[in-house]
Protein backbone atom coordinates (compact mmCIF):
# COMPACT_ATOMS: atom_id res chain seq x y z
CA UNK A 1 0.00 0.00 0.00
CA UNK A 2 2.79 2.43 0.90
CA UNK A 3 4.66 1.77 -2.35
CA UNK A 4 1.56 2.67 -4.34
CA UNK A 5 1.15 5.82 -2.24
CA UNK A 6 4.79 6.78 -2.82
CA UNK A 7 4.28 6.38 -6.57
CA UNK A 8 1.19 8.60 -6.48
CA UNK A 9 2.97 11.30 -4.46
CA UNK A 10 5.93 11.17 -6.83
CA UNK A 11 3.56 11.56 -9.78
CA UNK A 12 2.01 14.60 -8.10
CA UNK A 13 5.47 16.11 -7.64
CA UNK A 14 6.36 15.46 -11.29
CA UNK A 15 3.18 17.12 -12.53
CA UNK A 16 3.53 20.09 -10.19
CA UNK A 17 7.19 20.43 -11.13
CA UNK A 18 6.29 20.58 -14.80
CA UNK A 19 3.45 23.02 -14.10
CA UNK A 20 5.91 25.81 -13.20
CA UNK A 21 7.61 25.45 -16.58
CA UNK A 22 4.33 25.25 -18.51
CA UNK A 23 3.00 28.32 -16.70
CA UNK A 24 6.16 30.29 -17.45
CA UNK A 25 5.95 29.24 -21.09
CA UNK A 26 2.38 30.53 -21.30
CA UNK A 27 3.35 33.93 -19.90
CA UNK A 28 6.28 34.15 -22.33
CA UNK A 29 4.15 33.35 -25.39
CA UNK A 30 0.91 35.13 -24.39
CA UNK A 31 1.71 38.69 -23.25
CA UNK A 32 -1.99 39.50 -22.71
CA UNK A 33 -2.62 36.49 -20.46
CA UNK A 34 -3.37 37.54 -16.88
CA UNK A 35 -2.92 35.51 -13.72
CA UNK A 36 -6.64 35.30 -12.98
CA UNK A 37 -7.57 34.31 -16.54
CA UNK A 38 -4.96 31.55 -16.62
CA UNK A 39 -6.10 30.07 -13.32
CA UNK A 40 -9.78 30.30 -14.31
CA UNK A 41 -9.04 28.47 -17.57
CA UNK A 42 -7.14 25.75 -15.68
CA UNK A 43 -10.03 25.24 -13.28
CA UNK A 44 -12.63 25.33 -16.06
CA UNK A 45 -10.81 22.56 -17.91
CA UNK A 46 -10.45 20.51 -14.73
CA UNK A 47 -14.15 20.91 -13.87
CA UNK A 48 -15.40 20.15 -17.38
CA UNK A 49 -13.37 16.94 -17.43
CA UNK A 50 -13.85 15.65 -13.89
CA UNK A 51 -17.49 16.45 -13.07
CA UNK A 52 -19.04 14.52 -15.99
CA UNK A 53 -16.54 11.70 -15.50
CA UNK A 54 -17.42 11.20 -11.85
CA UNK A 55 -21.14 11.49 -12.59
CA UNK A 56 -20.94 8.79 -15.25
CA UNK A 57 -18.91 6.56 -12.93
CA UNK A 58 -21.33 7.35 -10.07
CA UNK A 59 -18.45 8.34 -7.81
CA UNK A 60 -19.33 12.00 -7.19
CA UNK A 61 -20.08 12.18 -3.49
CA UNK A 62 -22.26 15.16 -2.50
CA UNK A 63 -20.81 17.49 0.11
CA UNK A 64 -22.42 16.83 3.47
CA UNK A 65 -24.02 19.82 5.14
CA UNK A 66 -21.58 19.82 8.05
CA UNK A 67 -18.61 19.84 5.64
CA UNK A 68 -19.70 22.71 3.37
CA UNK A 69 -17.73 25.24 5.40
CA UNK A 70 -14.58 23.11 5.13
CA UNK A 71 -14.87 22.81 1.35
CA UNK A 72 -15.46 26.55 1.00
CA UNK A 73 -12.33 27.19 3.07
CA UNK A 74 -10.32 24.55 1.20
CA UNK A 75 -11.17 26.11 -2.16
CA UNK A 76 -10.47 29.58 -0.80
CA UNK A 77 -6.97 28.42 0.15
CA UNK A 78 -6.38 26.20 -2.88
CA UNK A 79 -6.92 26.93 -5.67
CA UNK A 80 -8.00 30.56 -5.06
CA UNK A 81 -5.42 32.31 -2.84
CA UNK A 82 -2.64 29.77 -3.39
CA UNK A 83 -2.76 29.94 -7.17
CA UNK A 84 -3.05 33.72 -7.14
CA UNK A 85 0.19 33.87 -5.14
CA UNK A 86 1.99 31.04 -6.93
CA UNK A 87 1.10 32.07 -10.47
CA UNK A 88 1.90 35.72 -9.76
CA UNK A 89 5.27 34.57 -8.43
CA UNK A 90 5.99 32.48 -11.52
CA UNK A 91 5.15 35.51 -13.66
CA UNK A 92 7.96 37.44 -11.94
CA UNK A 93 10.69 34.78 -11.57
CA UNK A 94 11.84 31.65 -13.38
CA UNK A 95 9.85 28.44 -13.09
CA UNK A 96 12.70 26.56 -11.42
CA UNK A 97 13.25 29.24 -8.77
CA UNK A 98 9.52 29.31 -8.06
CA UNK A 99 9.55 25.55 -7.54
CA UNK A 100 12.44 25.86 -5.08
CA UNK A 101 10.48 28.30 -2.92
CA UNK A 102 7.38 26.11 -3.01
CA UNK A 103 9.51 23.14 -1.95
CA UNK A 104 9.94 24.74 1.48
CA UNK A 105 6.33 23.84 2.32
CA UNK A 106 7.31 20.57 4.11
CA UNK A 107 9.49 22.57 6.49
CA UNK A 108 6.41 24.29 7.92
CA UNK A 109 3.66 21.66 7.66
CA UNK A 110 4.84 19.44 10.57
CA UNK A 111 5.01 22.45 12.85
CA UNK A 112 1.55 23.54 11.70
CA UNK A 113 0.25 20.05 12.47
CA UNK A 114 1.85 20.24 15.92
CA UNK A 115 0.28 23.64 16.64
CA UNK A 116 -3.18 22.72 15.33
CA UNK A 117 -3.48 19.04 16.26
CA UNK A 118 -0.59 18.38 18.66
CA UNK A 119 0.79 15.80 16.21
CA UNK A 120 4.30 14.75 17.23
CA UNK A 121 7.23 15.71 15.03
CA UNK A 122 9.41 12.66 14.38
CA UNK A 123 13.19 12.64 14.24
CA UNK A 124 13.01 11.15 10.76
CA UNK A 125 10.83 14.03 9.64
CA UNK A 126 13.25 16.64 10.98
CA UNK A 127 16.32 14.95 9.48
CA UNK A 128 14.59 14.40 6.13
CA UNK A 129 13.29 17.97 5.88
CA UNK A 130 16.65 19.50 6.77
CA UNK A 131 18.52 17.29 4.30
CA UNK A 132 16.00 17.89 1.54
CA UNK A 133 16.12 21.64 2.06
CA UNK A 134 19.92 21.47 1.87
CA UNK A 135 19.54 19.81 -1.51
CA UNK A 136 17.06 22.46 -2.58
CA UNK A 137 19.53 25.14 -1.48
CA UNK A 138 22.24 23.58 -3.66
CA UNK A 139 19.81 23.58 -6.58
CA UNK A 140 19.19 27.26 -5.94
CA UNK A 141 22.90 28.10 -5.81
CA UNK A 142 23.53 26.03 -8.92
CA UNK A 143 20.86 27.90 -10.83
CA UNK A 144 19.99 31.57 -10.97
CA UNK A 145 20.71 32.22 -7.30
CA UNK A 146 18.68 34.98 -5.69
CA UNK A 147 18.30 36.96 -8.86
CA UNK A 148 14.51 36.70 -8.80
CA UNK A 149 12.51 39.80 -8.07
CA UNK A 150 11.50 40.57 -4.49
CA UNK A 151 7.89 40.87 -5.62
CA UNK A 152 7.92 37.35 -7.04
CA UNK A 153 9.51 35.88 -3.93
CA UNK A 154 6.94 37.65 -1.76
CA UNK A 155 4.07 36.10 -3.73
CA UNK A 156 5.65 32.65 -3.53
CA UNK A 157 6.19 32.97 0.22
CA UNK A 158 2.48 33.74 0.56
CA UNK A 159 1.73 30.57 -1.41
CA UNK A 160 3.81 28.55 1.06
CA UNK A 161 1.84 29.89 4.02
CA UNK A 162 -1.50 29.16 2.32
CA UNK A 163 -0.37 25.64 1.40
CA UNK A 164 0.26 24.90 5.08
CA UNK A 165 -3.19 26.20 6.02
CA UNK A 166 -4.74 24.11 3.21
CA UNK A 167 -3.04 20.97 4.50
CA UNK A 168 -4.33 21.60 8.02
CA UNK A 169 -7.88 22.08 6.71
CA UNK A 170 -7.68 19.02 4.46
CA UNK A 171 -7.37 16.79 7.52
CA UNK A 172 -10.99 17.70 8.37
CA UNK A 173 -12.45 15.99 5.28
CA UNK A 174 -9.84 13.67 3.78
CA UNK A 175 -11.12 10.60 5.67
CA UNK A 176 -14.72 11.09 4.55
CA UNK A 177 -14.41 11.71 0.80
CA UNK A 178 -12.48 10.10 -2.03
CA UNK A 179 -9.40 12.20 -2.93
CA UNK A 180 -10.59 12.74 -6.51
CA UNK A 181 -13.96 13.95 -5.19
CA UNK A 182 -12.29 16.52 -2.93
CA UNK A 183 -10.22 17.73 -5.86
CA UNK A 184 -13.23 18.01 -8.16
CA UNK A 185 -15.31 20.01 -5.68
CA UNK A 186 -12.50 22.39 -4.73
CA UNK A 187 -11.73 23.08 -8.41
CA UNK A 188 -15.39 23.89 -9.12
CA UNK A 189 -15.74 26.13 -6.07
CA UNK A 190 -12.42 27.78 -6.92
CA UNK A 191 -13.67 28.48 -10.45
CA UNK A 192 -16.74 30.18 -8.99
CA UNK A 193 -14.44 32.35 -6.88
CA UNK A 194 -12.39 33.36 -9.94
CA UNK A 195 -15.13 34.04 -12.51
CA UNK A 196 -16.15 37.47 -11.11
CA UNK A 197 -12.52 38.63 -11.19
CA UNK A 198 -12.11 37.55 -14.82
CA UNK A 199 -15.41 39.13 -15.93
CA UNK A 200 -14.76 42.44 -14.16
CA UNK A 201 -11.02 42.94 -14.73
CA UNK A 202 -9.84 40.72 -17.62
CA UNK A 203 -12.48 41.06 -20.33
CA UNK A 204 -10.30 43.11 -22.68
CA UNK A 205 -7.22 40.93 -22.27
CA UNK A 206 -9.17 37.72 -22.98
CA UNK A 207 -10.16 39.06 -26.40
CA UNK A 208 -6.49 39.69 -27.26
CA UNK A 209 -5.29 36.14 -26.53
CA UNK A 210 -4.08 34.13 -29.53
CA UNK A 211 -5.94 30.90 -28.63
CA UNK A 212 -3.26 29.08 -30.62
CA UNK A 213 -2.94 25.25 -30.52
CA UNK A 214 0.12 25.65 -28.28
CA UNK A 215 -1.77 27.82 -25.80
CA UNK A 216 -4.71 25.42 -25.72
CA UNK A 217 -2.49 22.38 -25.23
CA UNK A 218 -0.63 24.03 -22.34
CA UNK A 219 -3.88 25.01 -20.64
CA UNK A 220 -5.31 21.51 -21.11
CA UNK A 221 -2.17 20.01 -19.58
CA UNK A 222 -2.32 22.40 -16.61
CA UNK A 223 -6.04 21.84 -16.08
CA UNK A 224 -6.20 18.06 -16.44
CA UNK A 225 -2.80 16.93 -15.18
CA UNK A 226 -1.70 19.62 -12.73
CA UNK A 227 -5.03 20.84 -11.32
CA UNK A 228 -6.77 17.45 -11.23
CA UNK A 229 -4.54 14.39 -11.36
CA UNK A 230 -1.78 15.87 -9.18
CA UNK A 231 -4.17 17.05 -6.45
CA UNK A 232 -5.99 13.70 -6.41
CA UNK A 233 -2.65 11.88 -5.96
CA UNK A 234 -1.56 14.29 -3.24
CA UNK A 235 -4.84 14.03 -1.33
CA UNK A 236 -4.60 10.24 -1.49
CA UNK A 237 -1.10 10.48 -0.04
CA UNK A 238 -2.27 12.60 2.89
CA UNK A 239 -5.10 10.14 3.53
CA UNK A 240 -2.66 7.20 3.67
CA UNK A 241 0.52 8.65 5.21
CA UNK A 242 -0.64 11.77 7.01
CA UNK A 243 0.00 15.41 6.13
CA UNK A 244 3.55 15.69 7.45
CA UNK A 245 4.99 12.66 5.64
CA UNK A 246 3.10 13.27 2.40
CA UNK A 247 4.33 16.87 2.20
CA UNK A 248 7.95 15.71 2.25
CA UNK A 249 7.51 14.67 -1.39
CA UNK A 250 7.02 18.33 -2.31
CA UNK A 251 10.77 18.69 -1.86
CA UNK A 252 11.26 16.78 -5.12
CA UNK A 253 9.27 19.32 -7.15
CA UNK A 254 12.38 21.43 -8.04
CA UNK A 255 14.03 18.29 -9.42
CA UNK A 256 11.30 17.77 -11.99
CA UNK A 257 11.06 21.49 -12.74
CA UNK A 258 14.77 21.58 -13.42
CA UNK A 259 14.65 18.52 -15.66
CA UNK A 260 11.75 20.00 -17.63
CA UNK A 261 13.51 23.37 -17.91
CA UNK A 262 16.68 21.71 -19.22
CA UNK A 263 14.71 19.61 -21.71
CA UNK A 264 13.09 22.66 -23.31
CA UNK A 265 16.25 24.78 -23.12
CA UNK A 266 15.27 27.19 -20.33
CA UNK A 267 18.25 26.16 -18.18
CA UNK A 268 21.63 24.46 -18.59
CA UNK A 269 22.82 21.20 -17.04
CA UNK A 270 25.45 21.30 -14.27
CA UNK A 271 26.90 18.80 -11.78
CA UNK A 272 26.07 21.16 -8.91
CA UNK A 273 22.40 20.76 -9.79
CA UNK A 274 22.81 16.97 -9.94
CA UNK A 275 24.26 17.02 -6.42
CA UNK A 276 21.26 18.99 -5.23
CA UNK A 277 18.93 16.43 -6.80
CA UNK A 278 20.68 13.52 -5.06
CA UNK A 279 20.61 15.19 -1.64
CA UNK A 280 16.96 16.17 -2.02
CA UNK A 281 15.92 12.60 -2.87
CA UNK A 282 18.00 11.29 0.05
CA UNK A 283 16.04 13.55 2.40
CA UNK A 284 12.74 12.17 1.09
CA UNK A 285 13.93 8.58 1.65
CA UNK A 286 15.20 9.24 5.19
CA UNK A 287 11.95 10.95 6.18
CA UNK A 288 10.07 7.71 5.44
CA UNK A 289 12.28 5.48 7.67
CA UNK A 290 10.13 4.40 10.64
CA UNK A 291 13.10 3.34 12.75
CA UNK A 292 14.18 6.97 13.06
CA UNK A 293 10.85 8.17 14.38
CA UNK A 294 10.93 9.54 17.89
CA UNK A 295 9.34 7.34 20.52
CA UNK A 296 9.86 4.14 18.47
Provide the residue-wise pLDDT of the chain in tens; the chain has 296 residues: 688 899 999 999 999 999 999 998 999 899 999 999 999 999 999 999 989 989 998 889 999 999 999 999 999 999 999 999 999 998 888 777 788 788 777 767 777 777 877 777 778 778 877 887 787 777 667 655 555 567 888 999 899 899 989 988 888 888 889 888 998 999 999 999 999 999 998 888 888 999 999 999 999 999 999 988 888 888 888 888 887 678 778 778 888 888 888 888 777 777 887 888 788 878 877 876 654 444 44
pLDDT of the residue at 1: 64
Domain count, the chain: 1
Residue 252 covered by a domain: no
pLDDT of the residue at 289: 63
Residue 266 covered by a domain: no
Q: Contact at 8 Å (CB) between 153 and 101?
A: yes
Residue 32 covered by a domain: yes
Residue 80 covered by a domain: yes
pLDDT of the residue at 255: 84
Q: Give the structural domain span for 7.
A: 2-115+147-240
Residue 246 covered by a domain: no
Residue 265 covered by a domain: no
Amino acid sequence: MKIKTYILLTLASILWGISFILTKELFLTEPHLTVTTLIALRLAVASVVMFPTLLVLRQLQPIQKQDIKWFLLLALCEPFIYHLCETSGVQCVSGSLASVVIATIPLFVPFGMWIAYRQRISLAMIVGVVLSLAGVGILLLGGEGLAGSAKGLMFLSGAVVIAVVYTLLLVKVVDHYRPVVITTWQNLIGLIYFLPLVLVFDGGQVLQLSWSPKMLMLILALGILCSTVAYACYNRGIRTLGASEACIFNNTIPIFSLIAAIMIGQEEFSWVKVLGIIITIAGVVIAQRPQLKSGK
